Amino acid sequence: MPDHKSLVMKQQNKAGIVQKTFPPQSLTQILKVVSSKIELLESQILRDVRTDIPLLNNVAEHILSSGGKRLRPALVLLGAEMFGGIDERVMQAAQVIEYLHTATLLHDDVVDGAETRRARQAACRVWGNEVSVLSGDYLLAMAFHRLTKLRYPEVLELMSETTTRMARGELLQLTRSYKTANEDDYFEIIINKTACLFATAIKTGALLAGASGKSADLMYDYGMAIGISFQIVDDALDYSDEKKTGKPVGGDLQERKITLPLSHLLEQANVRDRKRLDLILAQAIIEKPQIEEVTCLMKRYGSIDYSLAHSREYAAKALQYIANFPDTEI
């Protein structure tokens, strides 16, 4: 019988995580490990969110059925699968993670003034900011209501801390300017805003399935590294093909968000190019030709390649955490 380390590595290799490159699409291969449960979860997510308020149902269905990868709930299921199997509590926890994530999307789109989400109109553009914010509040409240029913204090504490960190990450992003921010600022933002939910998702699944404290912590570190890697690539895709990504090219640039490609470019650009970048970023609206100009500069200075190299480093770190798992857990 294979030891735990070998089994986990086999699962990850099967899932397609061990690759030379690490685009976000490869993360969807995680679903292969828990594909049958994801199908069941999909129907539960859409069914259980329905209320007697038609407007809320419309908003929830609009965003929940918009083609999301369900990566975060998949990590809950994957964590449980590694340490004893998926039961009803694990499925409930996976729903909680997806509702929490969806609530943040509704809120983020209002804050960012987003036009689209997953290649369709953002909910705030269809129903307005008030409805989007309140719908996000409802999903957040429902997530924590379901969480209390798990009757697992450690998971409740973990999720509460994570929600606080996500809000902190959003506030950091709002208050830190691209003019003065550096890579440390960028990583602080994405760790709090994005990666900690990946980490919490897989640790939650592991805890509910009976993992030891040490193994659950290693799962958390694994999820954190995966989340950081995911976000770096997602930021690099801001300068890719809109048809492939479903998000407008230059959307993050338009919002002056601190991303690793932009941070690297601003740091590496010579005086002339830096002045040109400052002029572009000072415009009220950055037009398509200027976005293309910035993209060309990023290619010239190697900012995209630099970012993807960092993503691969974090993917490798994730596999290192797996290699450190105790052999006796299963």
Tell me the domains of the chain and their CATH numbers.
22-323 (1.10.600.10)
Half-sphere exposure of 326 (CA within 13 A, CB side): 11
The share of the chain scoring above pLDDT 70, in percent, equals 86
pLDDT in tens, 38-90: 889 988 998 998 999 999 999 999 999 887 789 999 999 999 998 988 999 99
pTM of the model: 0.88
Alpha-carbon Rg for the chain in angstroms:
20
Which tokens in the block code for residue 97?
């993670």
pLDDT bucket at 31, cuts 50 / 70 / 90: low
List of long-range contacts for 33-36, beta carbons under 8 Å, 24+ apart: 33/77, 33/78, 33/81, 34/74, 34/77, 34/78, 34/81, 34/86
Q: Is 71 helix (H, G, I), strand (E, B) or coil?
A: helix
Query: DSSP readout, 248-279?
Result: -TTHHHHTT---HHHHHHHHH--HHHHHHHHH
**Closest C-alpha to 77, from 39, 24, 26:** 39
C-alpha to C-alpha distance for 144 and 142, rounded to whole angstroms: 5
- Biggest CA–CA distance in the chain, Å, is 63
Q: Which of 77-81, 93-97, 178-182 is predicted least confidently?
A: 178-182
C-alpha to C-alpha distance for 139 and 104, rounded to whole angstroms: 9
pLDDT bucket at 106, cuts 50 / 70 / 90: very high
Q: Which of the two residues, 17 and 4, has the higher pLDDT score?
A: 4
Token look-up 């950081």 returns: 228
Token look-up 């200075």 returns: 301
- Strands 120-121, 116-117: pairing is antiparallel
Token look-up 């609206």 returns: 285
pLDDT in tens, 257-311: 999 999 999 999 999 999 999 999 999 999 999 999 999 999 999 999 999 999 9
C-alpha to C-alpha distance for 196 and 163, rounded to whole angstroms: 9
Q: Which element (helix H / strand E) includes 72?
A: helix 71-82
Predicted local confidence at residue 5, as pLDDT? 43
List of long-range contacts for 84-91, beta carbons under 8 Å, 24+ apart: 84/209, 84/210, 84/211, 84/330, 85/209, 86/34, 86/37, 86/205, 86/209, 87/208, 87/209, 89/150, 89/152, 89/208, 90/205, 90/208, 90/209, 91/37, 91/40, 91/41, 91/44
Predicted local confidence at residue 203, as pLDDT? 98
Residue 22 reports pLDDT greater than 50: no
Q: By CB neighbour count within 10 A (0-12 exposed, 13-18 middle, 19+ buried), where does 309 fall?
A: exposed
